[in-house]
Structure 1
């Protein structure tokens, strides 16, 4: 199965909610969210989404394609709040019934931290996208939960 085939149930326009927190002990800040999931340039899935924090509109774009290995994916991601002016490059694949993508980012003065995006396309009822911080020597924790419906 290609990554595009796997994500096909998520194609379309969606509305829902976004929850975000900075630390694992923080409460989630909830906001309305929307997403457009479409096939782009024939070989990519583009997820264009909006949300807000502290009353300011935010948006992001995730562009996903198949990688050469079976059931593997690569992606680039930018988000107006999380990634600033840089793309993050991800690799991953299907695991535990989800598409799991991982990247790393500098966290001076220590070692790099990781960022993980998990996508469950649903069965036509709406995708769920979560994002997790991967800190060295600590358990991963969920930072973002984007739940979408028609």
Structure 2
């Protein structure tokens, strides 16, 4: 299955809730969110979304290519006005037996080895969901973002 076929249930415009926390012991903070999922240049899919950090509006873009299987993994680039600043983050991943696309990337940490970042996309039959997880070296990943999308 290619990435466009995989994301077909999410195509279109969505509203929902974005939940954010920085540390695993922090409470999540909710904000209104929107997203548009579309086919781009015939073979790619994009997820453009908006949310708020509580002080100002934020936006992000996830551009996906390739497949959604072990035979042809998905690749992606991600930008977010709050999370990534002026940098592009690159990812690769596959869809697991549970139907979730798990993308893995990393970013430079100023005081040591790179940290990981995971993006999980769940098109599902009901609301779509995108979660993001921070991966501190030597620790279990913890969820930082949950974006739940409804029509």
TM-score range, shorter chain: over 0.9
Q: Give the whole-Å Cα distance in 2 for the aligned partners of 1:54 and 1:32.
A: 10
Structure 1 match to 2:122: 120
Q: Deviations over 1:74-115 (max 9, x none)?
A: 000000000000110111111232011110111121110000
Structure 1 match to 2:101: 99
Q: Give the whole-Å Cα distance in 2 for the aligned partners of 1:37 and 1:71.
A: 21
The answer to whether the 8 A contact 2:2-2:66 is kept is: yes
The answer to whether the 8 A contact 1:37-1:45 is kept is: yes
Q: Deviations over 1:44-65 (max 9, x none)?
A: 1100000001221000000001
Instruction: Flag as ranges the 4+ runs of structure 1 deviating above 3 A.
Output: none
Aligned length: 149
| TM-score for the superposition, normalised by structure 2 | 0.94
Please, what is the CA RMSD of the aligned residues?
Answer: 1.3
Unaligned segments of structure 2, at least 5 residues: none
Is 1:145 the counterpart of 2:142 in the alignment?
Answer: no
Quote the offset at 1:4 in angstroms. 1.4
Q: Helix, strand or coil: the match of 2:19?
A: strand
Quote the offset at 1:69 in angstroms. 5.7
The answer to whether the 8 A contact 2:38-2:45 is kept is: yes
| TM-score for the superposition, normalised by structure 1 | 0.95
Structure 2 match to 1:111: 113
Unaligned segments of structure 1, at least 5 residues: none
Q: Give the whole-Å Cα distance in 1 for the aligned partners of 2:76 and 2:120.
A: 12
Quote the offset at 1:126 in angstroms. 2.6
